Structure 1
Amino acid sequence: MRTHVDRWVLAARGAGASADDTDLAAAGEYLLTRWSEPQRQYHTVAHLTAVLDVIDEFAGLATDPDRVRLAAWLHDAVYDPRALGDANERDSAEFAEGLLATLGVPAATAAEVARLVGLTAGHATGEDDRDGELLCDADLAILASAPDDYAAYTAAIRREYAHVPDDAFRGGRAQVLKALLELPSIYRHPPLRAAWEDRARANLEAELKTLG
């Protein structure tokens, strides 16, 4: 069974990284320390693993699956629950481009991975962006989970924002849910939409009712 670092190294190699295996493995280990930071309750290694698993399962939907895998690794590389707006996504995109450059990933590829990372701020993709669509669909897969898993997800999100008073959290969370529900479709790729869309919308609507 491949370790997380093995998965990182294979994706980096597939995307053209020229660094040696030792440096690639060290970068993977470093990323895992970031995904294990104490302020994270949902945006953890478990979330990273879940996103990677979806990408692997549906890799055939992507134009370049390894770029999508690298974007998954890097999309929450910077995560501060106290950050404002899309600062985490912007900082993660900048971090991604810099890290990949140090590992010898071609500049155009590093820039594309950074672009993909940036999409996770609003999960809105343009026309014919198969890689962006798969990354966003994988990132939002939790929304279509079974009720118990969805409840565990929402509880973890609340713990990440423990510094926010209840009223403010409910208002902010409701805005997030409404924005997702207003998307033409939460999931972009047809097989994922068919499997997940109805369940995700039911979960979001049920949570929205609890927020008052």
Structure 2
Amino acid sequence: MPGLITRWAADLVSLNPDADPDDVAAVGAELLARWTESHRRYHSTRHLVEMFWALEDLTDAGELTEDEARLARVAAWLHDAQYDPAASPGANEAASARLATTVLPRAGLAATDTAVVVELVEMTAAHEVPHGSSLQRAFHDADLWILAAPRERFDGYCGQVREEYAAVPDEVYRLGRTAILRGLVGPDGIYLSAYGTEHWEDPARENVARELARLAQLD
């Protein structure tokens, strides 16, 4: 997928013009290999691209600066770089954060920028935003854009998640997935940016309500 690698390289070189192109390309290829692992169904390059689209909308709306958008895209590459459906809660995010501390310096990313990426990756474990910066709010919203996707895409996403957790019995999956979705749709809303709240909140709530109804039927 040369387009993804081209974007990766452009972002890294924009953040550090002195980065070695060969090192940047090597790290990008390593990450792409992770994103194309055969066991992935939802957490694949499609999710990565959809995050990029969402981040573009947020940038166009003024929620992010161009440099913040570049860091957010780098964080998107890392946030599900480690993905094992059988891992304990939070383990994938922790492993992905550790991976970021290893590979991003190899790609020439500055220590301060690497720390920002690591914090964004760790934040996805519980979808909690510790400081509420514009970058954190936008990254949170882009990661959860899928909840507001058009009906057909959202329903496809639900099926993909179930495929990733095919080894989990129906009742266990129903209870766990219901708890996750209800936790995301709280009284304060799903999205944290002004753009996300205005454009994505209502369709996301409709989608999640439909999925919760489907899950209830498995009882």
TM-score interval, smaller chain: over 0.9
2:205 aligned with 1:201, yes or no? yes
Could you state the TM-score of these two structures normalised by the residue count of structure 2?
0.91
CA gap 1:103/1:12 in 2 versus in 1, 3 angstroms: same
RMSD: 1.5
> Which residue of structure 2 aligns with residue 16 of structure 1?
16
What per-residue deviation string (whole Å, max 9, x for no partner) do you get for residues 124-172 of structure 1? Answer: 2145411111111111111011221111000000000001011100010
> Which residue of structure 2 aligns with residue 102 of structure 1?
106
What per-residue deviation string (whole Å, max 9, x for no partner) do you get for residues 40-65 of structure 1? Answer: 00000111011012212322312522
What per-residue deviation string (whole Å, max 9, x for no partner) do you get for residues 8-38 of structure 1? Answer: 0111123327431122112112211100001
> How far apart, in 2, do the equivalents of 1:19 and 1:144 lie?
37
> Which residue of structure 2 aligns with residue 173 of structure 1?
177
Amino acid at match of 2:94: R
1:102, CA displacement in angstroms?
A: 1.6
CA contact (8 A) 2:63 2:193 kept: yes
> Which residue of structure 2 aligns with residue 61 of structure 1?
63
2:166 aligned with 1:162, yes or no? yes
CA contact (8 A) 1:17 1:100 kept: no
CA contact (8 A) 1:119 1:125 kept: yes
2:48 aligned with 1:48, yes or no? yes
Unaligned runs of 5+ in 1: none
> Which residue of structure 2 aligns with residue 121 of structure 1?
125
> How far apart, in 2, do the equivalents of 1:158 and 1:119 lie?
23
Q: 2:144 aligns with which of 140, 143, 166?
A: 140
Amino acid at match of 1:20: D
Unaligned runs of 5+ in 2: none
**What are the equivalent positions in structure 2 for 1:66-105 lying under 5 Å apart?**
66-105=70-109
> Which residue of structure 2 aligns with residue 111 of structure 1?
115
Could you state the TM-score of these two structures normalised by the residue count of structure 1?
0.94
